[in-house]
Amino acid sequence: MKLAERIAHLGTETAFAVSAEAAAFGATGNKVYPFHLGDMNIPTPANVMEAAVKAMKDGKTGYCPNAGIPRLREVLAAEVSASRGVRYTMENVVIQPGGKPTIGKFLLTLLNPGDEVLYPSPGYPIYESQIEFLGGIPKPYRYLEGERTFTIDLDALRRQITPATRLLVLNDLQNPTGAECSSEEREALADIVLKHDLYVLCDEAYFDIRYDGHSTSFVSLPGMAERCVILYTFSKKFAMTGWRLGASIGPKPIVDVIAKLNVNDESCSNHFIQYGAIEGLTGDPSGPRRILSILKERRDLCVELLNAIPGIHCLRPNATFYLFPNVTRAMQAKGFDDYEAFRRALLHETGVSVCSRLHFGRPLAGETQFYIRLAYSGIDLPEIREGLTRFRQFVEG
Ligand SMILES: Cc1ncc(COP(=O)(O)O)c(C=O)c1O
């Protein structure tokens, strides 16, 4: 069969292939410790579920406006205005079936073939996939491992910029490193954006998944709200990954085009679940708080146990539900210089299933350190303890 040529440029989220491998290993009676996929085993808060069920019973089962129901757009605009310190109205909000659709729709709206896009690598793999699929030129920027956190290599990022650079993807509170930009980093990036007349996709999927303090949005810096589209999602804060609900939030001319893309793609997002989201944003806040406290306990246990493994060094991010430990010495001690061989041996000898740096965009020239990524959103404390103890025995053995 002859498929369209553009399909050759479409990437994927290879973490799903790791899931399939882990499932196949589990299907033969083996115990699997699922650290690979950023899905959640925590239920959606009951008030959110009840509001969605009620809406369904009340007949909210037909099409709804392609930009989302007005009340949800209003309350989301109010919430994002308050948490980001920028004034948005419902005109700035277009509801999406998840956070992910904002990536492709942002690029479809602003990218011409041959335009260059700066994006993080390691980073969420869909950026690279969609940039290349839509004819853009990928310009990855890297993170450096510091004492306390990963930081963006701003000098290397600046060196990537040419007159063809048009867009920047910023995932502050980052998957996979868990990094949060410092105010200096944000200011330096805002200078770059203004100097080179860039538009920005602010992927804020983890804005509310933080354990201390408050998140700061890049859009709050002077001149940025006019140039940024926020990727918002209900998936993580409300443990709603499978519901598929999110939003694109930004300047009206861009948001209007994204709404038009909705008409062409899915017509509208699922109608009755939008009532669940309204309840999430306006009702009892104890559900998201509980989710955070569960995740925080898991983070603390994972970091402690990972750092007890010889040859592994794991930073302790204050946000996201990911860890990105440096496993270079552990791999060397076990005689591995290949990510996939290490990951598969770990799975088959211990049942511990993880992703590696390879699942987060093509590695960049000059990378000398090896990293794996663990998600602790889908695994309970006893399994974390058992799995990471097996991991230690594997490295020590
Ligand atoms: C950085 C980042 N952006 C976007 C998404 C997409 O989230 P959603 O489930 O809302 O589509 C994810 C999901 O893991 C993510 O890690």
- pLDDT tens, position by position, 139-162: 999 999 999 999 999 999 999 999
Q: Per-residue pLDDT averaged across 346-373, rounded? A: 96
Is the beta carbon of 171 within 6 A of some atom in ligand 1?
yes
How far, in Å, are 22, 45, 47, 237, 266 from residue 276 at the CA level?
Answer: 32, 10, 8, 13, 20
Q: Would the pTM count as exceeding 0.85? A: yes
Q: Please count the other Cβ atoms lying within 10 Å of the Cβ belonging to residue 162.
A: 10
Which atom belonging to ligand 1 lies closest to the Cα atom of 235?
10
- Say if residue 364's pLDDT is above 90: yes
Q: How far is the CA of 100 from the centre of ligand 1 (A)?
A: 6
Count of residues making up the chain:
397
* Sole residue written with tokens 């949060």: 180
What the block records as the tokens of 217 is 């949005």
Task: Count CA within 13 A, CB hemisphere, residue 76.
Answer: 30
Residue from 107, 175, 324 to probe ligand 1 pocket by mutation (most atoms less than 8 Å from CB): 175
Q: How far is the CA of 39 from the centre of ligand 1 (A)?
A: 10
Residue 14 has a pLDDT of 81
Per-residue pLDDT tens digits for 13-56: 888 889 999 999 999 999 999 999 889 999 999 999 999 999 99
Q: How far is the CA of 68 from the centre of ligand 1 (A)?
A: 19
Q: How far is the CA of 397 from the centre of ligand 1 (A)?
A: 36
Residue from 12, 201, 203, 249 to probe ligand 1 pocket by mutation (most atoms less than 8 Å from CB): 203
- Say if residue 323's pLDDT is above 90: yes
Q: How far is the CA of 205 from the centre of ligand 1 (A)?
A: 6
Per-residue pLDDT tens digits for 224-255: 999 999 999 999 999 999 999 999 999 999 99
Residue 124 has a pLDDT of 97
Q: What single letter denotes the amino acid at residue 108?
A: L
Q: How far is the CA of 212 from the centre of ligand 1 (A)?
A: 21
Is the beta carbon of 175 within 6 A of some atom in ligand 1?
yes
168 bridge partner residues:
118, 200
Residue 15 has a pLDDT of 81
Percent of the chain with pLDDT over 70: 100
